[in-house]
Amino acid sequence: MNYIDKNFYNVINEIKSKDVYDIYFHILEKFKNISETTQRSMERFFAKYSYWGELRIDEGYFKVLFNKAEVFKKYLDEYAVLYESLKDYKSKYVLFSIINDFYNFDFVNLKNATEYCFKHYFDLNLMPKLKENVFVDVGAYVGDTVLDYVESFGEKGYKKIYCYEICQENVDKMKINLKKFDNIEIRRKAVSDKKEKLRFDLDNDISSNHISTGGKIEVEGVSLDEDIKEKISMVKMDIEGSEMKALAGMKEHIKNDMPILLISVYHNNTDLVEIPKYIRSLNENYDYYLRYYGGCVYATEIVLFALPKTKKVLVKNLI
């Protein structure tokens, strides 16, 4: 057993020995030991982004921490299953660092786990070359991921790119940013599990617009199975918590095309385990990797790489 395995199972076994309240009080104690400046920064962060729960320090309300304790108790065995399914030790170290951050507020390992070498989503250790891909960018924002794709793999790395974005302002900027490239289709649609009218509100951070039932702006919702009939080679998803629905709406593509899947798995407390579990239920012929692109305080920007087992990938077990 190497040191990454040892560290991971040490924290897993410690958590396993406790009930949910003991886990919560442990997390709370660790939180209170970090600097007040960092505590207040986290309080502002959770007030702005409510995916994980609320944190109101002066009121003694630490729901976000209790939610983590509940998830640990419910999903601990599945974290271990995910760990064993990961195909390189960089991924395993990422998972350990995320869990240890949530449990112990360990900022050092989280910082060390961060990917600095390659572009967000495009790890050249895992995908050294791509050619003639049909790439679908779900949550395309202003085209930044497409620009990274082209820089990583060149213009010959794709034959068609579909960009899905719900905000018209972002769509307008994307058209400008990508105008020099051919064979890119921009669709102002929300990707979900079926065709329906959906609603959203504009967020102050327009990269974080998300579907909500009480939203004032209407957008067409579609499934990728219905909206794209050709074979898909690769899909990136970052849609603020709607990833599971979007995956359900492309289950036929996953079953039949086996596209590379690059999925954000941090927008709620359970996606990190539920999304790979769901993909596995649709198609068992995937290998799994994790990469981390976020900050060193609270783990966000976690990306699951699901790569078809038939793909020849170059994997270096380096951290």
Provide the residue ranges of all domains of the chain, joining segments of one domain with +: 3-112, 133-264
- 24 has a pLDDT exceeding 90: yes
pLDDT value of position 210: 61
- Positive or negative torsion for Cα 42, 48, 52, 54: positive
Residue whose C-alpha is closest to residue 164's, from 193, 185, 134, 180: 185
pLDDT over 70 percentage in the chain: 92
pLDDT value of position 256: 96
Three-class SS state of 212: coil
- 246 has a pLDDT exceeding 90: yes
**Rounded to whole angstroms, how far apart are CA atoms 40 and 205?**
20
**Rounded to whole angstroms, how far apart are CA atoms 67 and 249?**
28
Strands (E), 165-312: 184-187, 190-191, 196-201, 210-211, 217-222, 234-237, 260-264, 286-292, 302-308
Q: What is the tens place of the pLDDT at every residue in 88-114? A: 999 999 999 999 999 999 999 999 999
152, 119 in Cβ contact below 8 A? yes
Q: What is the mean pLDDT of residues 35-39?
A: 98
Q: What single string gives the DSSP state of each residue in 117-183?
A: SSBTTB-TTT-S---SEEEEEES-TTSHHHHHHHHHH-GGGEEEEEEE-S-HHHHHHHHHHTTTSSS
pLDDT value of position 208: 52
133-264 maps to CATH 3.30.70.100: no
Higher-scoring residue by pLDDT: 198, 272: 272
pLDDT value of position 211: 59
pLDDT value of position 4: 97
For 80, other C-beta atoms within 10 Å of its C-beta total 17
| pTM passes above 0.85 | yes
pLDDT value of position 318: 38
pLDDT value of position 316: 41
The residue type of 156 is K
The vertex-190 CA angle with 257 and 214, nearest 5°, equals 145
Q: What is the tens place of the pLDDT at every residue in 10-23? A: 999 999 999 999 99
Q: What is the tens place of the pLDDT at every residue in 266-318? A: 999 999 999 999 999 999 999 999 999 999 999 999 999 999 996 544 444 43
Residue carrying structure tokens 């729960």: 53
